[in-house]
């Protein structure tokens, strides 16, 4: 995969300020969503959350595709998802702001579809854990696809913090919606492939040893060209054979009969 590469940033100080603003925007957006989860969890005491959750294989349960990720079953549930959303959302939004914004609808719907298609009938699936799995798989897969320094660093941080999500997409504990985890993870993989080019590569710093290698390669190439014999077509011709007409019909006298 070939992406545009900028050798040197035009202004290092301006680039640092831009990076700080981008991290701050990602953190504020993630924090706003966490506060939304806390507000919805506080208001859940006044209504039946199961009616707004994902109910597998039921038409009325499709409403949970939109409302399920903001609902949670307990304080520990919403706290665990809030921490993961704050960390992974800030990481993904700061490194891939465009790709993350475009991928969020896929992660949101993918987690709900996974629960609706694979869940057992009569159960209720709720929580933002599918979205967190989608963010983790998005960041990790983009690191494998792009392979620039920030992408690899972000993938390593995501794996260090939540590498266990690679296993929680499979059934392990009762009461844990591994179906929504799997749906969000698959959505993260698809989104990483679709939006891998949405964000340009950051400015790349060129080190002195790289410049020395390029100069040495150019010198070696010039030396090879100096002693390499030229093509026979480029050799000047000292003498040319005069051209003679070809295809001339010679006249013969008619045969005489005695």
**pLDDT, mean of residues 47-61:** 88
Whole-structure pTM value: 0.75
Map tokens 């480029």 to a residue: 234
Output the CATH code of domain 12-194.
Answer: 1.20.1540.10
Smallest CA-to-CA distance from 97 within 16, 154, 163 is with: 154
- pLDDT (tens digit per residue) in 81-98: 999 999 999 999 999 999
The structural domains of the chain, with segments of one domain joined by +, span 12-194
Kindly report, residue by residue over 143-191, the tens digit of the pLDDT. Answer: 999 988 889 999 999 999 999 999 999 888 888 899 999 999 999 999 9
Contact, 57 vs 121, CB < 8 A?
Answer: yes
């Amino acid at each position: 995969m070939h992406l545009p590469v900028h050798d040197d940033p035009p202004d290092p100080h301006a680039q640092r300020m831009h990076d700080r603003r981008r991290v701050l925007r990602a953190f504020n957006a993630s924090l706003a969503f966490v506060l939304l989860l806390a507000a919805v969890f506080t208001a859940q005491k006044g209504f039946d959350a199961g009616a707004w959750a994902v109910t597998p294989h039921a038409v009325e349960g499709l409403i949970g595709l939109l409302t399920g990720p903001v609902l949670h079953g307990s304080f520990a549930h919403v706290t665990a998802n809030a921490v993961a959303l704050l960390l992974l959302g800030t990481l993904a939004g700061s490194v891939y702001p465009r790709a993350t914004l475009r991928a969020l609808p896929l992660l949101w719907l993918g987690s709900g579809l996974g629960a609706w298609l694979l869940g057992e009938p009569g159960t209720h699936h709720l929580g933002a854990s599918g979205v967190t799995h989608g963010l983790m798989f998005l960041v990790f897969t983009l690191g494998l696809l792009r392979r620039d320094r920030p992408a690899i660093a972000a993938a390593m941080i995501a794996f260090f913090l939540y590498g266990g999500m690679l296993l929680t997409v499979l059934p392990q504990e009762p009461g844990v919606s591994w179906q929504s985890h799997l749906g969000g993870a698959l959505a993260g993989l698809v989104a990483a492939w679709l939006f891998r080019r949405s964000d340009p590569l950051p400015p790349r710093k060129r080190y002195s040893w790289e410049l020395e290698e390029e100069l040495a390669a150019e010198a070696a190439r010039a030396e090879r060209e100096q002693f390499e014999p030229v093509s026979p077509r480029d050799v000047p011709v000292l003498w040319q054979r005069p051209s003679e007409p070809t295809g001339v019909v010679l006249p013969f006298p008619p045969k005489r009969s005695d």
